[in-house]
Structure 1
């Protein structure tokens, strides 16, 4: 029989160190013949990101770590980064190109282990060598979403062969440069930035001679998704400009690749563009036809369109599978892939509302058939590998499964996990929470989507008359979404007798453009009101109204702080790397990518300056009476520490219980295991202090005031 203990005091095997060790989500998979490559974080190694690979054939052994410390494979373009590497086949082994986080230079690497069809041989691979020059200022030159197009001398790739799929090589392919998006910081002003698509020689000559880098595309302030056609004659890409974000309005461009030793882009023309139409991914269907994911009807669906020969009006596009579902997501990071062509001519695509399934789409009939795996969430991280008919590889998860690298055989329907060796240290499954998806309505009848994780521990239960405490988790973005997947951070609380509710408030993705745009000019209002609506629904269903907390990071930190200032619903808050001063954030205290994001979230600047000031928690400190914990990375360039410091200065003379924990070496979001542990234990200590939990493993938080 379970032991009866008060909520919040339950013993749990899921400690903060377990949570930190579990933050190793694979990312950016890429197929290369019989190999699959990906990046993976190492929280115990100062939060660096390494490069891994595995072979698809049975018995090939565990995944291989290709770069040891201190190498850190991560781009800082748009500060959030994106796909930081690419890899291509050669007869004597693969060639990888990647971005190193510390200096943001691009490097070339030839792994020391080469696999041949019948044997594996070792050789001393050279250390990575730089391809790009050292910048004049720290991280002043940044790169993302690299591709290495073949020279046309080898001949065109097969029409049915999708990007990233390479058969066994009989002829040495020829490569002369890597193409990618480059971001140039011209001064210390974070918005004094330009971007272009450039060609960087693979021979390393540009490392000492910046003039060796050729500009292929410029014009739009933001760029994403460079893709070369199968015949090597065209380049497609996406672009947008301030004040739009990529989920507002983007343009799909195509240019011709002029032949010659130094290839250039000519005859640039628009393929798809319309106000309030967001295109988030483009891929080639054939030498003269594109697939792209766009939302002209309010949902991100996949379209097919022939490319025009000149800059004539955009041609009519065909929606391949028109549904009130999302086949894409918010383009926070260049390089995301929500769909890809298969060698058979079909497409593999994520799709859904609130949760993303994986399906095989026939572009002619529109038939969509889902793959049968236990995963309930497929992320926009797909690739295709292996010989025809190809294997689908993607990052997927479920409430009882961690984010893992999954291989699916599209014909047989079989599947397996490729990174099993690094997923063995997992939390006990019987202590994981059991999510309940809910939709509640606000006072005006608008739906609000949430996922509720009641307290759960197989060894303990609460006294029958006690009502459970709850913490509302508010996701960042705010144009984002909280997926229903196994999350050890949630389990850390629920296994201790603290319920969690994740709120996909108005403005979240997964429910169409209309739901996203509920937040337009209403940030700080709709998000807060939706959190209150969910909290009230929890109370109506049995939660303790005196023991409700709210927490979030970045935009979620903003909502958490705004909720303390604007409501009396929550007894305390954990506010992580937040936005607290809209005026400061709009006038130079954030990076270029989001520097005009508030135009849509709050209103035109400076016409609505009073609105910016009135909604900012930094100007509402006199309305805050609940205790809070403030967590901040000192190297954060997106939500810099100055916002927290200004906020704390304005409560200095008030007897308001609070604690501030700042972490050196952390950027936007915590990556080091010691930081994750300290932050989680401090947060639990806050709830012990405010809600009166008597625990022996965690001390109540000591307030700074």
Structure 2
């Protein structure tokens, strides 16, 4: 029998501790001998990334034990921090020193020297060769220098930096190296400032002569995003190209003219924002391609390269899908499922069989997990896509006629995407009677290039208008209490939170995690990977300086009136604490209710269990204080003025 309580004050078995440990994301997966290995963060161990496998008895065991932490900081966001060979040798980047190590039978030894200026990521093992992206932060360089390198696996470079072979450099950024099966050619992705890889990037192909790449060519060039080269055979290269408006699979033979059309065209994206190294949207499994296609939600398909024939596979993941590895006709796929769990599945491209390798579900029952409803509303720039999650609790209901409070989630990036899966953060709130609306505002991936480019030159305008339109859609549909709608976002999402609070009155409260308040300061202070990102989002400096000033929420500090919670990591190199602290000071000067929490040792994104727990409880307590409901089991928060 259910009880009746006001929205927001519902007792819930989904504690912040349970939410922090639920369904960890998968950080790479590989076939190794007869096993499958995968990486996953461990919040209870300071967020380190462990590499794991399933032992003979079925229990999960660590291949990379504590305190080792497989985490790259190339581009600050890292990625591709581990790989393995067929015999069971693990290669990984240790977070603390960014050296590459190998692990054989539990013995860890360095493969690269002690060099505080060098970082590694995007590890790629193919046919006895270990490739990596190397990023050098030499004090004598104005900006980091990057290259694709070959690292000897015999340990000969552990004390000799000269033993690391630089295969190619010459562009501001490199990623996704692919060695041809006969070892004669290298393909890779390259791009230069001021572009981001989803704006303009090219695949380059060069012959390896004397151990390095000399001359190279690009199958296609121009205003397109070309990603993830993979060799079908010694002469044939597959890659992704969004010239049609969608990232689709392309095929090119050495020496041929550029292809004019995809061999498997689709009104969906096989590709996305290359924020981290090691991402893979397809792989080659014998005579088939296994790929993810995204149009709001993800689905996995097999494609026959000869005919283009496509078959959808029954992989349960619908969000964050990565095509990790292949062996023979089998491919490894990771992602998140509608119930909030994550997993790794082995799919057989020859017959469509899908076998779960590792699945995790939240520790609470499915009756506690909200299911996504796809929502589309009209915005000033066109349709706006979102996923709605209503209050969900099997034991409690609200009085007839009461409308629930809602929190509008704004993802970071801004060139990113959320799929139809309730995060543990969302379930924590919905189980307490607070609805969540997750918005893919204009500029998000997953809906084609035209949708992405709505934000070009319009950051702080289109994103703000879209989240406002999404919130008004909830209110106009009678789904949310118009006086109790909050907005929450992190990083670029925090910018949109702050922008929405100073340009309108639809939101009664805001939560900003390491949000951007001053675009001009961000352009000066942020790291090299995003140093020119704002050229496309707002405009180049100094020509567009007045736009930077006009768009920045801090410029309009006198318009802040809604209560605001600010959460920040002390070691954030992407959005430094000065941004949140400037907002805090502006709120204090105006007497606006607020709270500021600085988490020591955290960077851009919270990883430690204790931080995640405190942040969740702080957000819930903040909403209770602002919207006037009790927060059972969570202490009140003190708001400053």
Q: 1:258-337 maps to which residues of 2 (within 5 A)?
A: 258=209, 263-274=211-222, 276-308=223-255, 314-337=257-280
Paired residue secondary structure (1:319)? coil
- For the 8 Å contact 2:340–2:362, the answer to whether it is kept is no
Cα separation, 2, equivalents of 1:455 and 1:433: 7
Query: Which residue is equivalent to 2:598?
Result: 662
Query: Which ranges in structure 1 are unaligned for 5 or more consecutive residues?
Result: 113-124, 151-174
Q: What residue in structure 1 maps to residue 182 of structure 2? A: 231
Q: Which residue of 1 aligns with 2:97?
A: 103
Report what 2:409 is aligned to.
Answer: 473
1:165 corresponds in structure 2 to none
Partner of 1:560: 497
1:93-146 CA-to-partner distances (Å, cap 9, x unmatched) read 422211000111111111x2xxxxxxxxxxxx42x111112224xxx2111112
Of the candidates 278, 283, 304, which is equivalent to residue 362 of structure 1? 304
Decide whether the 8 Å contact of 2:373 with 2:388 is kept in 1: yes
Equivalent in the alignment of 2:633: 697
Q: Per-residue CA shift, 1:543-572, capped at 9, x if unaligned?
A: 111000000111111111111111111111
Q: Cα RMSD between the aligned structures? A: 1.7
Match of 2:79 in 1: 82
Q: Which digits, 9 at most, give the CA deviation of each residue in 1:40-95, with x for residues without a partner?
A: 1100001111111348xxx6633331122110000000011111112112xxx422
Change in 2 beyond 3 A, CA 1:424/1:533: closer
**Would you identify which runs of 4 or more consecutive aligned residues in structure 1 move more than 4 Å?**
none
1:144 to 109, 121, 125: 121
Task: State the 1:188 CA deviation.
Answer: 9.4
Of residues 54, 62, 66 in structure 2, which corresponds to 1:65? Answer: 62
* Superposed counterparts of 1:474-489, under 5 Å: 474-489=410-425
**Match in the other structure for 2:109:** 129
Equivalent residue number for residue 398 of structure 1 = 337
CA distance in 2, matches of 1:323, 1:494: 35
Distance 2:260 2:90 in 1: 36
**Structure 1 residues 105 and 267: CA distance shift in structure 2, 3 A:** same
Which residue number corresponds to residue 158 of structure 1?
none
**Structure 1 residues 64 and 318: alpha-carbon distance in aligned structure 2, compared to 1, 3 A threshold:** farther
* Counterpart Cα distance in 2 of 1:530 and 1:516: 13
d(CA) in 2 for partners of 1:628 and 1:203? 54
Q: Once the 2 structures are TM-superposed, how far is the Cα of residue 599 of structure 1 from its aligned partner?
A: 0.3
Secondary structure, aligned partner of 2:213:
strand
TM superposition score normalised by structure 1? 0.88
Question: Would you say the 8 A contact 2:23–2:362 is kept in 1?
Answer: no
The alpha-carbon distance between structure 1 residues 668 and 96, as it changes in their structure 2 partners (threshold 3 A), is: same
Q: TM-score, normalised by structure 2?
A: 0.97
Contact 1:659 1:704 (C-alpha < 8 Å) held by counterparts: yes
Please say if residues 23 and 340 of structure 2, whose CA atoms lie closer than 8 Å, have aligned partners that are also in contact. no
Contact 2:299 2:312 in 1 (8 A): yes
1:678 maps to 614
Measured in 2, the distance between the counterparts of 1:254 and 1:84 equals: 24
1:425 Cα deviation after fit: 5.7
1:375 and 1:401 in contact (8 A); partners too: no
- Higher mean alpha-carbon deviation, 198-207 vs 555-564, is at 198-207
Task: Give the secondary structure class of the aligned counterpart of 2:333.
Answer: strand
Contact persistence 2:572–2:602 (CA under 8 A): yes
- The 8 Å contact of residues 488 and 510 in structure 2, kept in 1 or not, is answered as yes
Q: 1:535 aligns with which of 463, 467, 471?
A: 471
SS in 2 for 1:679: helix
